């Protein structure tokens, strides 16, 4: 459980290098006395609180987004990334949207759809449809994905960070196609540590008419190793004249959200991995930013209900068989960092039916808090 610490207020510490650093000793008093982050504006859209749920392929589908939405606190949520040419092929073949757009048509707004490609026509065509056919709030373009299928094979995602000019061309096409819907870009610091291009790319993104920039403070070469460099994210800010800067990387608590705003020159923050085991982190961050006590993590019983709710949403869409298989990875995430998680994962990773899923969840996330997670 997260504690609300009550010792004397000290300012947050920055790391010797450029990681996000350790939070203030008393985050509630610290947040209450520090200036609140200004409202984040993406075009005409006000993102309040300025804390965003990151796109994560394979995870941030409609069911996950709905769980986050019901818990509250995320100022803007995003889909998984959608391949523009893949979208157009599926459309030509079946007339359907890709599965990654499950729920987008009818779900609550604000909502960002993320697209990727290196083909300006395809990106513009899909962006236009997202903006005008589905009426999404934001069209985000991925320039950060480091996986080979996207970089080496499709010359897209973080591959494009070596060419700020090309990034600018792609963004400009999508901006034109989506207007007046705002278009944003999500980048990493560069392709490799000795080739940081984030400032040039940021300037190209802004000049092309984008409405915001999100930066994950690692290079593509880093993948997910080491610490995200918040100093290098902050360094971009003086080079942006008009658009907000959203920092991303390694935020895993409400305290660190407060810390990010206090220590680094960013207008918004985005959370990805930590929101898989703790989809309630956004509600905690919202309270922390207001200087209110951080709500405790849900009880085990509430977490169990959340896993059943999440499962219900997945099964309604995919049916009991496929839904159960799909839910395994989400259930594994929910257990992260909890006592008995290894055993829980071992069992939940093999469930094939709703009965097996319910049995495992009820055993490891028991009714009474006092029984806690137990191992065999
Ligand atoms: C499983 C997984 C899938 C991801 N998929 C996407 C994606 O589709 N689009 C994107 O821009 N970033 C994607 N990312 C990167 C995250 O959005 C985020 O930038 C990164 O995880 C750093 O933030 P964090 O430290 O809060 O996790 C993904 C990350 C993970 C772990």
Q: Which of 151, 156, 154, 271 is nearest to 214 (CA)?
A: 271
Q: Ligand 1: which residue has its CA nearest to atom 5?
A: 56
Q: Do both 279 and 311 map to the same domain?
A: no
Q: Do both 118 and 48 map to the same domain?
A: yes
Q: Ligand 1: which residue has its CA nearest to atom 30?
A: 56
Choose one of 289, 322, 345: the last residue of a domain.
289
Q: Do both 89 and 238 map to the same domain?
A: yes
Structure tokens at 71: 């818990």
Averaged over 310-325, what is the pLDDT? 98
Q: Do both 284 and 308 map to the same domain?
A: no
The reported pLDDT for the residue numbered 212 is: 99
145 is catalytic: yes
* 5 domain residue, yes or no: no
Residue 266: C-alpha distances to residues 39, 213, 214, 235 (Å)? 12, 10, 10, 10
* 16 domain residue, yes or no: no
Task: Return the best residue to mutate from 272, 276, 277, 278 for the ligand 1 pocket (most ligand atoms within 8 A of CB).
Answer: 272
Choose one of 264, 289, 314: the last residue of a domain.
289
* 235 domain residue, yes or no: yes
DSSP 240: -
Which of 34-38, 77-81, 320-324 shows the lowest per-residue confidence on average (mean pLDDT)? 34-38
- CB-neighbour burial class of residue 376 (10 A; exposed 0-12, middle 13-18, buried 19+): exposed
Query: The domain spanning residue 134 has which CATH number?
Result: 3.20.20.70
Task: Return the best residue to mutate from 114, 187, 216 for the ligand 1 pocket (most ligand atoms within 8 A of CB).
Answer: 216
Q: How far apart (Å, rounded) are the C-alpha atoms in residues 225 and 284?
A: 26
Averaged over 211-217, what is the pLDDT? 99
Q: Ligand 1, closest atom to CA 228?
A: 25
Looking only at Cα atoms, what is the longest distance across the chain?
63
* 15 domain residue, yes or no: no
Q: Report the b/e string of 122-133 with b at 16+ CB within 10 A.
A: bbbbbbbbbbee
Catalytic residue (one of 145, 178, 229, 333): 145
Q: Ligand 1: which residue has its CA nearest to atom 2?
A: 56
Q: Ligand 1: which residue has its CA nearest to atom 15?
A: 56
Asked whether the beta carbons of 253 and 2 are under 8 A apart, the reply is yes
Q: Do both 349 and 270 map to the same domain?
A: no
Q: Residue 368: pLDDT band by 50, 70, 90 thresholds?
A: low
Q: How far apart (Å, rounded) are the C-alpha atoms in residues 139 and 120?
A: 14
Q: How far apart (Å, rounded) are the C-alpha atoms in residues 359 and 367?
A: 12
Q: Residue 375: pLDDT band by 50, 70, 90 thresholds?
A: very low
Question: Total domain count for the chain?
Answer: 2
Choose one of 226, 257, 289: the last residue of a domain.
289
Q: Do both 228 and 250 map to the same domain?
A: yes
Q: Do both 312 and 279 map to the same domain?
A: no
Ligand 1 centre distance from Cα of residue 370 (Å): 35
The reported pLDDT for the residue numbered 22 is: 77
For residue 78, the SS3 value is strand
Q: Do both 283 and 320 map to the same domain?
A: no
* 74 domain residue, yes or no: yes
Q: Ligand 1: which residue has its CA nearest to atom 31?
A: 273
| pLDDT, tens digit (0-9, with 9 covering 90-100), for 44-88 | 999 999 999 999 999 999 999 999 999 999 999 999 999 999 999
Q: Do both 273 and 304 map to the same domain?
A: no
* 11 domain residue, yes or no: no
Asked whether the beta carbons of 187 and 202 are under 8 A apart, the reply is yes
| pLDDT, tens digit (0-9, with 9 covering 90-100), for 151-196 | 999 999 999 999 999 999 999 999 999 999 999 999 999 999 999 9
Query: The domain spanning residue 347 has which CATH number?
Result: 1.10.1200.80
CA atoms within a 13 Å half-sphere pointing along the CA-CB vector of 361: 26
Q: How far apart (Å, rounded) are the C-alpha atoms in residues 105 and 99?
A: 12
Q: Do both 247 and 307 map to the same domain?
A: no
**Parallel/antiparallel/unpaired status of strands 77-83 and 195-196:** unpaired
* 376 domain residue, yes or no: no
**Structural domain range at position 344:** 300-371
* 106 domain residue, yes or no: yes
Measured over the CA atoms of residue 166, residue 246, residue 158 and residue 101, the dihedral's sign is negative
The reported pLDDT for the residue numbered 337 is: 85
Ligand 1 centre distance from Cα of residue 272 (Å): 6
Q: Do both 190 and 305 map to the same domain?
A: no
The reported pLDDT for the residue numbered 13 is: 45
What is the average pLDDT value for the chain, to the nearest integer? 92
Binding-site residues, ligand 1, Cβ < 6 A:
54-59, 80-81, 114, 142, 144-145, 186, 216, 248-251, 271-274
Q: Do both 310 and 258 map to the same domain?
A: no
Alpha carbon 36 to its chain centroid, in Å, reads: 22
Q: Residue 27: pLDDT band by 50, 70, 90 thresholds?
A: confident
pLDDT at 2 over 70: no
């Amino acid at each position: 459980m997260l504690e609300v610490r009550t010792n004397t207020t000290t300012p947050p510490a920055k790391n010797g290098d450029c990681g996000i650093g350790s939070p203030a000793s008393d985050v509630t008093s610290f947040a209450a006395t520090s200036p609140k982050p200004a409202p984040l504006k993406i075009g005409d859209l006000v993102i309040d609180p300025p804390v965003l749920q990151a796109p994560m392929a394979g995870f941030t589908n409609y069911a996950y987004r709905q769980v986050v939405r019901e818990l509250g606190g995320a100022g803007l949520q995003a889909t998984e990334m959608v391949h523009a040419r893949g979208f157009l092929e599926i459309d030509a073949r079946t007339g359907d949207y890709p599965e990654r757009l499950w729920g987008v048509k009818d779900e609550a707004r604000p909502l960002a759809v993320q697209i990727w490609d290196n083909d300006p026509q395809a990106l513009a065509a899909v962006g236009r449809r997202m903006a005008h056919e589905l009426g999404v709030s934001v069209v985000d373009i991925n320039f950060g994905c480091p996986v080979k299928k996207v970089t080496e094979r499709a010359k897209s995602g973080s591959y494009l960070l070596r060419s700020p000019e090309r990034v600018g061309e792609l963004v400009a096409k999508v901006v034109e196609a989506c207007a007046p819907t705002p278009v944003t870009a999500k980048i990493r610091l560069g392709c490799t540590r000795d080739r940081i291009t984030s400032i040039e790319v940021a300037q190209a993104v802004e000049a092309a008419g984008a409405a915001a920039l999100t930066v994950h403070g690692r290079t593509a070469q880093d993948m997910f190793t080491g610490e995200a460099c918040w100093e290098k994210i902050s360094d971009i800010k003086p080079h942006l004249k008009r658009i907000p800067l959203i920092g991303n990387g390694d935020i895993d608590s409400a305290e660190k959200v407060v810390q990010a705003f206090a220590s680094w020159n960013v207008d918004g923050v985005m959370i990805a991995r930590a929101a898989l085991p703790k989809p309630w982190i956004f509600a905690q961050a919202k309270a922390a930013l207001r200087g209110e006590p951080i709500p405790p993590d849900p009880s085990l019983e509430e977490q169990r209900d959340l896993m059943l709710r999440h499962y219900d949403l997945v099964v309604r869409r995919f049916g009991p068989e496929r839904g159960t298989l799909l839910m395994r990875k989400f259930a594994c995430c929910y257990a992260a960092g909890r006592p008995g998680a290894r055993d829980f994962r071992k069992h939940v990773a093999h469930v094939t039916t709703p009965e097996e899923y319910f049995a495992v969840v009820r055993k490891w996330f028991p009714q009474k808090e006092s029984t806690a997670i137990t191992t065999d």
